[in-house]
Amino acid sequence: MTTPQNHAVSGAEITLDNVVKRYAGQRTSAVDSLSLTIPAGEIVMFIGPSGCGKTTSLKMINRLIEPTSGSISINGEDIRTKSQDELRRRIGYVIQGGSLFPHMTVARNIAIVPKLLGWDKKRIATRVDELLDLVGLDPARYRDRYPRELSGGQQQRVGVARGLAADPPVILMDEPFGAVDPITRQRLQDELLSIQRELHKTIVMVTHDIDEAIKLGDRVLILQDGAKVAQYDTPEAILAAPANDFVDDFVGSGSALKQLTLARVSDLEFTRRSTAKVGESSTEAIARAEQAGDAAVVVLDARNRPVAWRFLRQLRRHDTIQEGDWESLVTLDERATLNDALDTMLTSGHGGAIVCDGRDQYLGVVDFDSVTGHMRAVEQEAAVHQEAAARHNAVEDDGLTAPEASV
Amino acid sequence: MVWQFIEDRRHQLLYDGFQHVYLVVLAVVLAAVIAILLAMFATRVPRIGGAVAGVATSNVLNMLTAIGLTIPGLALVGLLMPLTGIGATTALICVCFYAVLPILRNAIVGLVGVDAALLESARGMGMGELAVMFRIRLPLAWPVIIAGIRVSLQMSMGIAAIAAYALGPGLGKDIFTGLGELGGANALNYALVATVGVVILALILDFLLVLLGRLTTSKGIRA
Amino acid sequence: MSTTTPTSPTVPKTPDAPEADRAGARPRLRLRDRVEAETIGLLLVLPVLVVVVFLGYVWWRQTADLDSIERSALAWPAIREQIVHHIELTVVSSVIVVAVAVPLGILLTRGPARSFAPVVVGIANAGQAAPSIGLVALLAIWLGIGFWTAILALTLYGLLPVLRNTITGLDGVDPTLVEAGRGIGMSAGAVLLRIELPLALPVIMAGIRTALVLVVGTAALVTFIGAGGLGDSLVAGINLFRFKVMIASALLIALLALLVEWAGRVLELVFRPKGI
């Protein structure tokens, strides 16, 4: 999930309007009247059981599969106005394993679409290097390699770079991280998120992994057979208030726990705890702490970094606050997940964890109450959304458009 | 008119056809035995000389096969004639030589390709080396070997026709007769009937071989 | 002639290593990785073999005790002319074979024509069962003797391997790659030209090599229809009952064939796309 930024969005809005796909000789449609708006600059995950039509729906956006009826527009323009090839050159397409052409070097693979669009050599070369850098591969080393010489993770990165090559407003991804091991997959996911933070493309991704959907998606579209929309909402909303039993089952038990990978420490409310500077008088610090009702004091150094978290009895042993070791103190980065926060809280012995910002400055302390309070608030909010959406549905009966996320 | 031709020379054609088949089948059977034995030997080498020697042997044999297959049939006939004269012997050796090659190739691939784990468990159960070869390895490699024999058979039908130039037996004789009578009344008949005859016989033999293959291949590994 | 049909290349991977992921310390592709040991062996052995045996022949020719018939049968100008003619026959037929079989193979893998592919290949297969000498004879009887009949016979004989391998090669290209190509905006023609054909090339070239060897071998037979080539001196030796001539010319035919096989393998290597 990407946090909203103020940068300009370079993605385009995609609208699906009553899209149907029926194959000859089949009783049921593969895609049965799907209507959907994908907001510009967001990552939308398509997920559902095998054969539900998620990949079919994805492929209709770049016309690899033609709808039987209904229309699809990008930025308001019907995709049928251009020729298929024209359309696809303006849409990035990344599939599992990267699908790199084995007989072309990495550079040539990436350069395919820019070349098709007629860019000049110099511009292409610069762009290739730019993209390799963006996906974390040293251009000088990898430019002239062949796919065979790369690991699976590297091939996938090149695949992503190739998708981004012509700077398309829309990128379609079909289980792009499915073919690599879990560790590499996590790193690739993190890199995609950081790329998206910079670029704000509209990304539509098909996955079968609900954890991936929750981690990456700004919105998640859960589909049932026939590409029927079971729920289309932000990950938090889906986890907190599944729309029906299908979604509930699909998301799986432990969805509450899944919430913990979603929220960041910075979403929580920090509690104020007593602090003291190194070199200060112990007696004064202890007095302050007792007045506030704290059993321990966070010791800060001259640069406002926490260096120790000492109980009062420890402070009493010396006249002045002793130095501490900033490095060995376990703290939380404000961007850490709630999962990490709980882990740290359990081991700190204080029933809480110290939070620091990006420059290791002390921000505050989070404790178990902050976490449970936050989760409760999210649940309530999602329930409110669900009700509103249900009412909206009853009135219009027209398919769902994405409810506004008010976070 | 062709039918009259066939009718008239029925006996001769049948005789030549039979001879052709006899020559080829004999050659292929001999070739199969030779090739399979050679391949078995090639699989022995790793145990004696290590994996590298084994790979080297297979590679060398494959290279020799490729070279052998490159030599044109007529050239081999020309090389053999000074040694073995004209007649059936030369034809047999010639056809046999070529027939060995595809079978050898496939036999090596087949025998080497048997899962090492299976062989190990067989030895582990107390099977002697010979038993492992004949009761495990060969049967498992059999489909691949049969495929090689099929290729060999088809090739040999054509080579046998060429070897008829050295006065070998078979329908090739009739093709050359047709060639010799170019412009004559029966030239086309000879050449056509003989050629078509070879094709038909080749297809029949191939069919029989497939049948034989099915019968001799264990049900468990039949594709 | 291979008894196993080679498959189109897929992309193998070197295993993931998180540390090496950024460092990129992976060995570059070498010839040894891309090509089988057998092929490398042949590429080295064949020219040596051909050159050594040919030099042996030349030495023998100079020093041997030949009677007048033998000497005239093996006179160098005549032999050279036969060699050149033999090569001519081979090259012309091969060019026609490639010009016909490859486009036909491509056609038979596109859309509606796909259903005809097995039929066409089946007919060609049955045709291959016909003995080469029979084919040569029939065509000569039908069309008359001479160069072009020989070319037709050789071409027909060489068609099947190239056609079959073109179809197999193109069918063997990973369909996800084709889809990826279309998906990113390449036209169908561009995908055929830039992706399918290059990837199918190793298999197609193997077929062309097979055809080349088939043709050079069958070209030894066209002496029987007056089309020249090294078969001439071989048949002369047989007719004149001179063993020396028989062996010498047979040897020369074999050497030429080996040379062509080697050239075919070199071409295969040259045309193999880098990265496969």
Residue A146's closest chain C neighbor by CA?
A: C275
pLDDT digits (tens, 9 = 90+) for C244-269: 888 899 999 999 999 999 999 999 88
Average pLDDT, chain A: 85
Do residues A180 and A148 lie in contact, with contact meaning Cβ atoms separated by under 8 Å? no
Residues in C touching B55 (Cβ below 8 Å): 37
Task: Look at B62 and C135 and tell me if their CB atoms are within 8 Å.
Answer: no
Q: What is the pLDDT of residue A42?
A: 94
Domain residue limits, chain B: 2-222
Burial A391-403 (b: 16+ CB within 10 A, else e): eeeeeeeebbebb
Average pLDDT for residues B133-146, to the nearest whole number? 89
Residue B198: what pLDDT? Answer: 93
Q: What is the pLDDT of residue A255?
A: 58
CB burial readout B155-189, b (16+ within 10 A) else e: bbbbbbbbbbbbbbbbbbbbbbbbbebbeeebbbb
Task: Provide the pLDDT for residue A256.
Answer: 58
- Chain C residues with CB under 8 Å of B93 CB are none
Cβ-Cβ contacts under 8 Å between B and C: the total is 156
What pLDDT is stored for residue C25 in this prediction? 41
pLDDT in tens, B86-95: 888 999 999 9
Give yes or no for A180 touching C (CB within 8 A). Answer: yes
The pLDDT score that the predictor gives to residue C21 is: 41
Say if residue A18's pLDDT is above 70. Answer: yes
Asked if the Cβ–Cβ distance from C176 to A95 is below 8 Å, we say yes
The predicted model gives B7-27 an average pLDDT of 91
Return the percentage of chain A with pLDDT > 90, whole number: 33
Write out residues 311-370 of A within 8 Å (CB-CB) of C.
Answer: none
Give me the half-sphere count of Cα atoms (radius 13 Å) on the Cβ side of residue C224: 27
- State pLDDT tens for residues C37-76: 888 888 999 999 999 999 999 998 888 888 888 888 888 8
Taking the Cβ of residue B162 and every Cβ of chain C, the question of whether any pair is shorter than 8 Å is answered with yes
Distance CA C176, CA C182 (A): 10
Phi-psi region of A180 (alpha: psi -120 to 50; beta: other; left: phi over 0): beta
* β-strands A352-356, A202-207 pairing: unpaired
Residues 54-113 of chain B with CB under 8 A from chain C are 55, 59-60, 62-63, 66-67, 69-79, 81-82, 102, 105-106, 109
pLDDT at A254: 55
Of C15, C17, C29, the CB nearest to A146: C29
> Which residue would you say has higher pLDDT here, A255 or C176?
C176
Across the range B145-161, mean pLDDT stands at 92
Q: Which of B23-27, C5-9, C233-237 has the highest mean pLDDT?
A: B23-27
pLDDT band at C27; cut points 50, 70, 90: low
Who has greater pLDDT, A401 or A171? A171
**pLDDT band with cut points at 50, 70 and 90 for residue A387:** confident
Q: What is the pLDDT of residue A261?
A: 67
pLDDT at B149: 94
pLDDT tens track for A165-221: 999 999 999 999 888 887 778 778 888 888 888 889 999 999 988 888 988 899 999
Whether the CB of B210 is below 8 Å from some CB of chain C: the reply is: no
Q: Which residues of chain C lie closer than 8 angstroms to A144, CB-CB?
A: none
Residue C196's pLDDT band (cuts 50, 70, 90): very high
C in contact with B (at least 3 C-beta pairs within 8 A):
yes
In three-state secondary structure terms, B45 is helix
Judge: C3–B62 Cβ closer than 8 Å, yes or no.
Answer: no
Interface residue C243 vs chain B (CB under 8 A) = yes
Contact C198, A103 (CB under 8 A): yes
Using CA coordinates, name the residue in chain C closest to B102.
C3
Looking at residue C275, what DSSP letter applies?
T
* Euclidean distance between CA atoms C219 and C212, whole angstroms: 10
What mean pLDDT comes out for the span A41-65? 92
Query: Which chain C residues have a beta carbon less than 8 Å from that of B60?
Result: 41
**H or E element, residue C69:** helix C68-73
A69-74 and A170-174 strand pairing = unpaired
Does residue C28 or residue C276 have the better pLDDT? C276
Nearest CB to C129: which of B106, B148, B157? Answer: B157
Task: Please choose, from the candidates C133, A62, A60, the residue with its C-alpha nearest in 3D space to the C-alpha of residue B175.
Answer: C133
- Which three-class secondary structure string do you get for chain A? CCCCCCCCCCCCCEEEEEEEECCCCCCCCCEEEEEEEECCCCEEEEECCCCCCHHHHHHHHCCCCCCCEEEEEECCEECCCCCHHHHHHCEEEEECCCCCCCCCCHHHHHHHHHHHCCCCHHHHHHHHHHHHHHCCCCHHHHCCCCHHHCEHHHHHHHHHHHHHCCCCCEEEEECCCCCCCHHHHHHHHHHHHHHHHHHCCEEEEEECCHHHHHHHCCEEEEEECCCEEEEEECHHHHHHCCCCHHHHHHHCCCHHHHHHHHCEHHHCCCECCCEEECCCEHHHHHHHHHHHCCCEEEEECCCCCEEEEEEHHHHCCCCECCCCCCCCCCCEECCCEHHHHHHHHHHHCCCEEEEECCCCCEEEEEEHHHHHHHHHHHHHHHHHHHHHHHHHHHHHCCCCCCCCCCC
Instruction: Tell me: pLDDT of C151 over 60.
Output: yes
Q: Which of A138, A151, A183 sits opposite C14 (nearest CB)?
A: A151
CA–CA dist B109, B142 (Å, integer): 11
Contact with chain C for residue B186, Cβ under 8 A = no
Tell me whether B169 touches chain C (CB under 8 Å).
no
Q: Do B and A touch, counting CB pairs below 8 Å (3 needed)? A: no
Q: Are C258 and B70 an interchain contact pair (Cβ–Cβ within 8 Å)? A: yes
pLDDT average, residue stretch B62-84: 89
Confidence of residue C145 (pLDDT cuts 50, 70, 90): confident
- Phi–psi pair at C145, nearest 5 degrees: -80, 170
Burial (CB count within 10 angstroms: exposed 0-12, middle 13-18, buried 19+), residue A24: exposed
The dihedrals phi and psi of A276, each to the nearest 5 degrees, come to -150, 150
Q: Do chains A and C touch (3 or more CB pairs under 8 A)?
A: yes
Subunits with 3+ Cβ pairs within 8 Å of A are C
> Shortest Cα distance from C109 to chain A (angstroms)?
20
What would the mean pLDDT of A266-293 be, rounded to a whole number? 87
Query: What values do phi and psi take at B117, rounded to 5?
Result: -60, -40
Question: How near does any CA of chain C get to the CA of B60, in Å?
Answer: 7
A112:C184 CB<8 A: yes
Each residue's pLDDT tens digit, B173-209: 999 988 888 777 788 888 889 999 999 999 999 999 9
Looking at the complex, does the CB of residue C203 fall below 8 Å from at least one CB of chain B?
Answer: no
CB of B17 closer than 8 Å to CB of B197: yes
Chain A window 127-156: which residues touch C at a Cβ cutoff of 8 Å?
Answer: 136-138, 141-142, 145-155
CA dist B220 and B217 (Å) reads: 8
Which of chain B's residues have a Cβ under 8 Å away from the Cβ of C137?
175-176, 178-179, 191, 195
How confident is the model over A329-333, as a mean pLDDT?
80
Q: Evaluate if residue B71 carries a pLDDT over 50.
A: yes
C48–B contact, CB cutoff 8 A: no
pLDDT reported for residue A397: 55
- CB contact set of C156 (below 8 Å; sequence gap of 6+): C127, C135, C139
Interface test mutation site (partner C, options B106, B176, B179, max chain C beta carbons within 10 A): B179
Chain C residues in contact with A101 (beta carbon < 8 A): 177, 180-181, 194-195, 199
C interface with A, Cβ–Cβ < 8 A, is 9-18, 20-22, 24, 26-29, 176-177, 179-187, 190, 194-195, 198-199, 273-276
pLDDT at C96: 96
pLDDT at B140: 87
Spell out which residues of chain C touch residue B165, defining contact as CB-CB under 8 Å: 133, 238
What mean pLDDT is reported for chain B? 88
Pick the range with the lowest mean pLDDT from A30-44, A172-186, C87-101.
A172-186
A to C CB pairs, distance under 8 Å: 121
CA–CA separation, B97 and C91 (whole Å): 28
Q: Going by CATH, does the domain composed of B2-222 fall within 1.10.3720.10?
A: yes
Q: Which residue has the tokens 């030549």?
A: B16
* Touching subunits for chain B (3+ Cβ pairs under 8 A): C
- The separation between CA B75 and the C-alpha centre of its own chain, rounded to angstroms, equals 18
Q: What is the 3-state secondary structure (H, E, C) of B49-93?
A: HHHHHHHHHHHHHHHHHHHHHHCCHHHHHHHHHHHHCCCHHHHHH
CA distances from A226 to A19, A58, A252, B194 (A): 11, 13, 21, 63
What is the average pLDDT across A254-274? Answer: 74
Interchain contact, C251 vs B63, CB within 8 Å: no
Share of chain C above pLDDT 70, in %: 88
Of the candidates C205, C249, C201, the one whose C-alpha atom is nearest the C-alpha of residue C73 is C249
The stretch A86-109 carries a mean pLDDT of: 88
Q: Is C207 helix (H, G, I), strand (E, B) or coil?
A: helix
A115 contacts in C (CB within 8 Å)?
A: none
Structure tokens at B195: 């050629």
List pLDDT tens digits, range A337-351: 777 788 788 878 888
Interface membership of A62 toward C (CB under 8 Å): yes
Q: Do B162 and C221 touch (CB under 8 A)?
A: yes
For chain B, percent of residues with pLDDT exceeding 70: 99
The pLDDT of A140-157, averaged and rounded, is: 90
C180 to chain A: which residues are within 8 Å by CB? 93, 95, 99, 101
Nearest Cα residue in chain C from B178: C137
